[in-house]
Chain A
Amino acid sequence: MAEQLTEEEIKNMSPEELKELQKQQCVFCQIVDGKVASKKIYEDDKCLGILDINPANPGHVLLMPKEHYPLLPLMPPDISEHLFIVSKAIMGAMSLALGTKDANIFIANGSAAGQRAPHFMLHIIPRKMGDGVKMEIPVNPIPEKELKEVKDKIQEKINIIFKLKKAETGAASEEKPAKAKEPTKKEESGVDLDDIADLL
């Protein structure tokens, strides 16, 4: 049914229906379901690791959740934590199988960051000296005033977010913001992660 929909029909869909439609159209969901062929190298109940068909280096693995989540921040913590723990294990497997001990973990959230598919994935790129992969992070001294401004803005949001999460889960966690500022208890913000996901 996916192809026959008119623009109007899509407009009238509920968010749930839209999500379902995204899943149907997502090539990585089809890979997870086995409807599209891939070179699977690791699989468990939560995630799947396959060889990237356009590898930065031989052995480049894409690790993705089986469920369709467009961005890291939209994933439940138990799934995202699991992905990172598995990525460490996959680096171990790379070291064993390919002799490449070094690796980059690379994530792009949002098309502005280079994300190309609307299904979250984590790149694990095995590295060797002189392999020509450009993964250097540029260094730009940031003027003190600007640094302070950006720090304050981020600090404020961090305080709100970590407080919020604590309130949600109820249980007291050991997390405590470096500086306790009055949380302005509001979810407002200039950015909607769903909008960023929709751009993909």
Chain B
Amino acid sequence: MGDCIFCNTVEGKTKLEKVYEDAEVVAVVHPRGAVPGHILVFPKKHYQVFEIMPDYEIGHLFDVVNKISIAVFEAIQAQGTNIIMQNGVSAGQELPHVVVHIIPRKEGDGLDFQWTPKQMTQEEVSSIELKLKEAASEIGEFEKEKKKEAVKVEGKEEKKKPADEEEKDEDMAKQLERIP
């Protein structure tokens, strides 16, 4: 992904400075963030959208996000943090690479992520409840651990291509339609 700023950062080809790196995840301080100390945490692999990230990588990504948010609390005496993900163009996603924002907050910092509640009739709410509940009843199988192999891979992660990887590529192609 030659022109992806996050992929290039992983390879050390941008001016973004890493504050954290492991085999799967990188974190940098946002040079044009909402406030100083705004951190971006992203997977090294180029996942365009959240849905195509495997469960086990999501678990690890947010474990890192959580620990870094503690570091932010302590390092700059934040009184709070917002953790935000923008998935898809209408949700504000600007670059086709999954990224989690950690935004340190202080009273009176001028930031505001509140929303005006949408007015809905009882019928509308019930209809949505029913539909969502039905769709969510399919949830259950999580792949929390990668099928045993490559637990200890130093640096290079792409030594073998598991069968499900190909499926993923297909998914990615589908997702690409959504992100310019």
Residues of A within 8 A of B (CB): 39-42, 44, 49, 51, 54-59, 61, 72-73, 75, 77, 80-82, 84-86, 88-98, 101-115, 125, 127-142, 146-147, 150-151, 153-158, 160-162, 165, 174-178, 189-191, 193, 196
Contact = CB atoms under 8 A, between A and B. Distances in A.
Interface in B9-28: 17-24, 27
Contacts of B116: 56, 132
A145 to B, nearest CB: 11
B163 interface: no
Given A41-B129, A41-B133, A85-B144, A110 B105 contact: yes
B32 A58 contact: no
Interface of B: 17-24, 27, 29-37, 39, 50-51, 53, 55, 58-64, 66-93, 101, 103, 105-107, 109, 111-118, 120, 124-125, 128-129, 131-136, 138-140, 142, 144, 152, 178
A56 B113 CA distance: 11
Contact of A162 (B24, B67, B105, B117): B67
A165 B67 CA distance: 9
Nearest to A172: B152
A171 to B, nearest CB: 11
A86 B139 contact: yes
Contacts of A176: 21-22
B132 to A, nearest CB: 5
Contact of B76 (A96, A137, A154, A158): A154
Taking chain A's interface residues, is the majority helix, strand, or loop, or is none over half, making it mixed?
mixed
Given A110-B80, A112-B107, A134-B115, A156 B75 contact: yes
Nearest to B52: A88
Contact of B81 (A39, A109, A137, A150): A109
Contacts of B139: 42, 86, 89-90, 92-93
Most chain A CB inside 10 Å of its own CB: which residue of B68, B79, B115, B142: B115
A132 to B, nearest CB: 8
A150 B36 contact: yes
Most chain B CB inside 10 Å of its own CB: which residue of A49, A102, A134: A102
Contact of B80 (A89, A113, A161): A113
A177 to B, nearest CB: 6
Contacts of B27: 158
Contact of A84 (B59, B74, B120): B59
Contact of B37 (A72, A114, A132, A150): A150
A104 B80 CA distance: 19
A107 B83 contact: yes
A174 B55 contact: no
Contacts of A54: 117
A136 B138 CA distance: 32
B39 A154 contact: yes
Most chain B CB inside 10 Å of its own CB: which residue of A42, A44, A113: A113
Given A91-B50, A137-B34, A191-B78, A85 B128 contact: no
Contact of B31 (A147, A153, A162): A147
Contacts of A85: 55, 58-59, 142, 144
